[in-house]
Amino acid sequence: MPKIVDHDERRLELVDATWRIIAEVGIEGATMRQIALEAGFSNGALKPYFESKDTLLTFAFTHVLNKTNERIEQAVAGRNGLVALRAFCLEVLPLDQERIREARIVIPFWQRAASDTDKRDLYRESLQQWHGVLRGFLADARVAGQVNARVDDEILASQILNMLLGAQVTIVLGDVPDFTRVQRQLDDFLLLITATPT
């Protein structure tokens, strides 16, 4: 079915060319037409591929998620335990303008997902996948004697995930982002779970 593949490829191109515009102006702030024009396409370029802004947002979210997961894959390759865990978190945390833009896609997606079952299922799946990966790294780190906290890995993974999501909110809505401080929040959490309690 080569026609379908072409359609999908074109859609990917369009999402790649427009997601940053959506991140900047907000999904409320512009019409499909304006988003198309800003990206250098014709008026009606998006409509045949995305039936609504809502669909466009879902594709933008999936695109951003894929990009993050590709970065994670590269960052953790050949690493394990606490080093891999840290590398994972550094790819999710909003530590540069590009990742802040990504967070500006994720937050509107949360909002839509709160009252849309398909979006919620998509998000839940990605969260569960990340939770599993984090648990795996924690288990390795535990075996290697790198994690000594008297807290279940399952709970630690949830705490880390929630911190990563919360950091997206506080950075997007905060003052001028202080990337050193965000990174320190991560490193100091790793310090907490590494330390041997008496």
Cα(55)–Cα(110) distance, rounded to whole angstroms? 14
Of 38-46, 65-73, 79-87, 157-165, which part binds a copy of itself (CB under 8 A)? 157-165
Work out which of 111, 133, 139, 142 binds a copy of itself, going by CB under 8 A: 111
Of 4-12, 68-76, 138-146, 148-156, which part binds a copy of itself (CB under 8 A)? 148-156
Report if residue 173 touches a copy of itself, rule: CB under 8 A: yes
Of 5-13, 63-71, 80-88, 118-126, which part binds a copy of itself (CB under 8 A)? 118-126
In 3D space, the residue among 72, 68, 71, 62 whose CA is nearest the CA of residue 109 turns out to be 62
Q: Which is nearer to a copy of itself, 55 or 159 (CB)?
A: 159
Cα(94)–Cα(101) distance, rounded to whole angstroms? 8
C-alpha distances in Å from residue 103, one per residue of 74, 81, 198: 20, 26, 39
Written as one letter, the residue type at 17 is A
Report if residue 83 touches a copy of itself, rule: CB under 8 A: no
Are the C-beta atoms of residues 69 and 80 closer than 8 Å to each other? no
Q: Which is nearer to a copy of itself, 23 or 36 (CB)?
A: 23
Taking the complex as a whole, the smallest distance from the CB of residue 57 to a copy of itself amounts, in Å, to: 11
C-alpha distances in Å from residue 5, one per residue of 65, 79, 151: 21, 35, 47
Are the C-beta atoms of residues 179 and 186 closer than 8 Å to each other? no
Residues that bind a copy of itself (CB under 8 A): 25-29, 104, 107-108, 110-115, 120, 123-124, 127, 149-152, 155-156, 158-159, 161-167, 169-170, 172-175, 181, 184-185, 188-189, 191-193, 195-198
